[in-house]
Amino acid sequence: MNAIRYDIPRTRRQIVKETGLSQKKVDNALLRLLKTGKILRSEKPLREYQRIFKGRGGTTSNLRNYYLYILRSKKKGTAEINGVTFVGYETGRKGKPKESKAKILLCFLRDNEGLAFYSREILDRLKNDRLKPSDIMTNVRLFEKKGLVYVRGYRTDSGQTPFREGYLVTWIDPEKPRERALEEAIQATNKVLTNKATKNPIVERIQTIRDQIIEATKLKDLISFDFLQNKLSCSSYEAESAIKRALQLYPDLKEIKIFGNFRYYYHPDFVQEELHAAVIMKENYIRKIKGRANRIGHNWEAAVEFFIDNLTTGAKFWTQNHKNKEMDSRRITVYLVKPVAGRRKNAELDRIWEVSPGPLLSSTTYVLECKWGLVRKQDIDYFFEVLRNSKEFGIDTPEGRQIKQGVIGVFAGSAFNPDEKIRLKNELEIPLASYAARINIQLLKTSDFNEKLRQRGCLKGVSVQKICKLAKNENETRKCLELIWQDPSKADEVLADVVKENTDVYEFENMLERADVS
């Protein structure tokens, strides 16, 4: 029989693995053996830096504290192996044993019931009690598992991230009903965030968003993204970021998309029947007020389609039948393998066409996205994410989800932000066009199509923008372009007829925009 080796230190994890026992049983056994003097433990904890791969969540890193254990020799009460000193349970103790760090932290939180503290603030207050940065959240997470504390940070789809000052922590009274105790804990953290508003402009915006949403709910109304942006007096990017953080911080705030595009916000205090009525009112409002923008946007899609159809040899467009018979059959719905910017199961693409260079060569598939208005980086990113996460055009690779070979994205915008610069890792800032080219997205501008009209013989007064604004719908847009394309000299006459025909449409849209509708 082999002799027992006393000089092979083992960690708790190794003991759990080798014995097959649960972590709790191993902990209890180690404590009993340590107290009875049958094993020795390293005098000080060792620290190990570790990286953990979490799949799509990426890689996380942390500093792990652990002890080593060895069997105790009958002759010696202490030992030293590879520079690590091992001692017994009572060795080095003088007088009354020191209070554990976990107990110090727990007593601090319990004695300050009703107050919330950032983890960094807790560390500053308990530095004199031997607590170190690694001691705070390690013990807080243990308390959280036992239901003794409430921990709050920025909420994301996959978890929580800390605030700038760390996580917010507050005590949960186990003597009170659980629901009531949790509500009091949330209120304590809300109070800290509210008081922080005067120092942090981001938190100030978040609090304004929450107040406005609650106020609108009390008035039995939904509040729009545009209203919140105007209230905050900031850019759309800053408003986007603030609203996203507000929804993370306050899960009770809800977002609803009307017609899959227009974002509104409300608080759950809304009675279901009243919420339904408010949604119907907003739908009617959008149909009227947003009518001009929708009309021009769809006309822009038809204009881009016209030029592609006429200037691309062998272009074969995809078609799809829709439940909504008014929807253009060339608009295609694709299915998503993961949600993209609120789109959970599917997304719409404006046009898809294939071009075959020859019977023996592979065809190229072009996917079109159109936007009437200022195009920004986030619009390009959304289009790219839809492509690579769609079942039709995306594929799984060792590097992650990618767009299939032979698929090219085309983004047509009426205007691209010339001042927007994108900073890439370890590179200088690049313009939006260069950024799109890097991810294989081709950009089309109104100037590209206007140039084709000039080459055809049209004067400068005739433009794609003008046609889109004047035409009543997509069919009329195609008809106007076809007439102008066939006989450019009659362009002014064609547009004059369109204006005369659609006078009632323009007057109705102007009347609605002047009306004070809310």
Task: State the CATH number of the domain containing residue 271.
Answer: 1.10.10.10
Q: What is the CATH number of the domain that holds 486?
A: 3.40.1350.10
My answer on whether 427 and 504 are in the same domain is yes
Is residue 1 domain-resident?
no
Q: Does 3 fall in a domain?
A: no
**Band of residue 351 on the pLDDT scale cut at 50, 70, 90:** very high
Q: Is residue 95 part of a domain?
A: no
| Residue 96 in domain | no
Structural domain boundaries, residue 415: 291-514
Q: What's the CA gap between 470 and 479, in Å, rounded?
A: 12
Q: How far apart are CA 437 and CA 455, in angstroms?
A: 26
Looking at the fold, whether 326 and 463 belong to one and the same domain comes out as yes
Region of 355 on the Ramachandran plot (φ > 0 left; ψ -120 to 50 alpha; else beta): beta
Q: Which residue has the tokens 């191993």?
A: 26
- DSSP letters, 341-393, are TTB-SEEEESEEEEE-S-TTS--EEEEEEEEEEEE-HHHHHHHHHHHHTBTTT
Q: Express each pLDDT in 117-152 by its tens digit.
A: 999 999 888 888 778 888 888 899 999 988 899 998
Residue 107 shares a structural domain with residue 238: no
Question: Both 236 and 367 in a single domain?
Answer: no
Contacts 24+ apart (CB under 8 A), 379-388: 379/411, 379/413, 380/411, 380/432, 380/435, 380/436, 380/439, 380/441, 382/340, 382/341, 383/409, 383/411, 383/441, 384/409, 384/439, 384/441, 385/340, 385/341, 386/334, 386/336, 386/340, 386/343, 386/347, 386/349
**pLDDT tens readout for residues 44-97:** 888 887 777 666 556 667 777 888 998 887 767 788 888 888 888 765 454 445
Q: Which two tokens stand for residue 141?
A: 């997470």
Per the DSSP assignment, residues forming a β-bridge with 365 are 354, 407
- Tell me if 94 is assigned to some domain: no
Last residue of a domain, one of 145, 164, 197: 197
Given 265, 289, 313, which residue is the final one in a domain? 289
User: Are both 357 and 449 inside the same structural domain?
Assistant: yes
Answer whether residue 257 shows pLDDT above 60.
Answer: yes
Q: Are residues 235 and 334 in the same domain?
A: no
Do 241 and 297 reside in the same domain of the chain? no
Residue 200 confidence (pLDDT): 60
Model confidence, pTM: 0.48
Are residue 284 and residue 353 in the same domain, yes or no?
no
Query: pLDDT tens digits for 302-321?
Result: 999 999 988 888 889 999 88
Q: What is the mean pLDDT of the chain?
A: 83
Please give the pLDDT value at position 480. 93
504 domain residue, yes or no: yes
Task: Tell whether the model's pLDDT for residue 273 goes beyond 90.
Answer: no
- CA separation, residue 477 to residues 9, 115, 444, 461, 484 (Å): 80, 63, 18, 17, 11
pLDDT of 481 higher than 90: yes
Based on the domain organization, do 169 and 317 belong to the same domain? no
DSSP 8-state assignment for residue 44: S
In a domain, 384, yes or no: yes
Half-sphere exposure (CA, 13 Å, Cβ side) for 446? Answer: 21
User: pLDDT band for position 157 (50/70/90)?
Assistant: low
Q: State the pLDDT at residue 518.
A: 38
Task: Mark which of 245, 272, 289 sits at the end of a domain.
Answer: 289
365 in the same domain as 277? no
**What is the reported pLDDT for 169?**
94
Q: How many structural domains are present in the chain?
A: 4
Q: Does 476 lie in the same domain as 367?
A: yes
The answer to the question of residue 48 being in a domain is yes
Looking at residue 133, its pLDDT comes to 85
Is residue 455 domain-shared with residue 510, that is, in the same domain? Answer: yes
